[in-house]
Amino acid sequence: FSPLTVIAIPCCYMASFVRSAPLPELPGVNRTLVEDPGFQELVERSHSLIQKVLLSIPEAHKSCIHTETLQLNSAENAKLVVMAANIGIPSAPVLKVVSDNFTLETCLSRMSEGIQLHRALLSAVLPRLDKKDRVNELLADTRDLLVQIHKMQKMVQGESAVQPTPPALNLRLPGEYEVQVATHLTLVQLQSFGQDMVRSLRIFYRPSSQLHLKELYNAHLVKQ
């Protein structure tokens, strides 16, 4: 093999790898922006933080909820919808597949609204809980997650990005059982919303190793 052949082989593999998993063409998405290393770093941080939140929810539930009928992953949770309304727990914003009618800007806005909602709910029940450590950890992680989401919003919308106002809640918690139900439903809803966030973030996530190979391949093309 000539030296040129040796160089060409890895470049071919590099091209194949870069093209093997391109960012899908999605309406409502600025592909150049999404593939920007700075944006990808924020996506990766957000993904790691929401995964951490999801892993922490079962322990938080176990530490706070001592009512045996309230189980985190139970079909019975659907029957508590009326009680959720009576207590005053709002539904989480809906996350959809990004499209012309549900743009990246809208998706990030819904993520921000959802995280702020659940932070407000956790903060509302916190003073009434006997064990607060796990919920405080969730509040810290969701705060850090919110920072990453807001940074992505600024990249998409510029400095004009308007952050949603934290919701004003007036939960009706006359007794211990209502506190238990409110905490339980907040964690159940946060778990579901977090899982939707993971699915949404994965659409935009490109592993750093793949982005690095793409940069090397593009640099090789420029030199030719």
Residue 22 has pLDDT above 70, yes or no: no
Q: pLDDT of 32-61, one tens digit each?
A: 888 899 999 999 999 999 999 999 999 999
Question: pLDDT of 117-163, one tens digit each?
Answer: 999 999 999 999 999 999 999 999 999 999 999 999 999 988 776 77
CATH 1.20.1250.10 positions along the chain are: 28-204
Q: What is the pLDDT of residues 197-220, one digit of tens each?
A: 999 999 888 775 444 444 444 444
DSSP string, 26-92: -TT--HHHHTSHHHHHHHHHHHHHHHHHHHHHHHHHHHH---TT--TT-GGGGGGHHHHHHHT-PPP
Chain Cα centroid distance, residue 201: 6
Q: Is the pTM of this model over 0.85?
A: no
Question: Alpha-carbon distance 133 to 143, whole Å?
Answer: 15
**Average pLDDT of the residues in 93-122:** 94
With cut-offs at 50, 70 and 90, classify the pLDDT of residue 4: very low
CATH number of 28-204: 1.20.1250.10
Q: Is the pLDDT of residue 7 over 70?
A: no
Task: Give the pair of three-digit tokens for residue 147.
Answer: 């920072």
